[in-house]
Amino acid sequence: MRIIENSPSQLRLRDRTWWISGVCFAAAAFVGVGAAVKHGPAAAFWSVPVMVIFGLVFLQATDVTFDAATETCRIRRLGGFRRSVKQVNFADIEDIRIDSRVFNTDGAVMCRLSLVAGGNVTPLSAAYEQGPQRYEAMRSSLVQMVFAGRPQPPESDPVRDLIAAGRRMDAIGVLRRRENISLTEAVRRVDAEADMPA
C-alpha cells in the first residue's frame, strides 16, 4: 500500500497485488506450452486451469480515499471475484492501527493498516508488506487528517497491539527485529508488558 495523493483536502492510498496474478498467468502459459510441446495438449489440462484460478484469486486492488471536505473514508475493493465499496465517517473512526505479522523464515515484520470504527476492524489492504517505518509514516498522515480538531488516538506500538491481541510469539519477533535484542530479552520484556495492568 502506498500514498498516491496527499493534499490538505484529500489523502488517497492504493494497494495492488496484480504482480502475483501476473506470475501465475505467466507460469500457466509456460507450463501449458511446455506440456503441450512435450506431451501433447491433454498434458496441460489440469495444471493450466489451476494456475489461472490462482491468478484470478490474487487479482486484488484496493483504493482508499480520505476526503477532508466530506469527512469520510471510502474503501473500494476488487478481489476474490467481487467488488465492494464501504464508506466510513471520520467521526466513527476510533483508531487507525498498524497490524503486524512476523514471518519466521527470515524474521521480517510485515504490516498493513486497519481502521477501527464502531468496534469493528476493517483492513485497508488484503496483503501485508515489509516496512514498519513506512507504515508508521502513513498512519501519522492519516491520523492528522482524520482526527483534526479532536483527540488523537495514542501512538501505535505494534508490540503492545500484538500482546493485547494475544499474539505473544509475533510480539516477541517484532521486538527482536525492531531493537536487535536476544530472544531471552525479548521474551522477558513481552512477558513484563503482558503482566502490566491495562
**Owner of C-alpha cell 503482566:** 195
> What pTM does this model have?
0.70
| Distances from the Cα of 53 to the Cα of 27, 48, 82, 101, 172, angstroms | 12, 9, 14, 27, 36
Distance of CA 103 to the CA centre of its chain: 14
The rounded distance, in Å, linking the Cα atoms of 173 and 98 is 16
198 residues of the chain, pLDDT tens digit each: 888 999 989 999 988 776 566 666 676 666 666 665 666 665 555 566 666 666 666 677 889 999 999 999 999 988 767 788 999 999 999 999 888 877 665 667 788 899 999 889 999 987 788 877 888 889 999 999 999 989 998 887 778 878 887 888 888 888 888 888 898 998 999 998 887 765
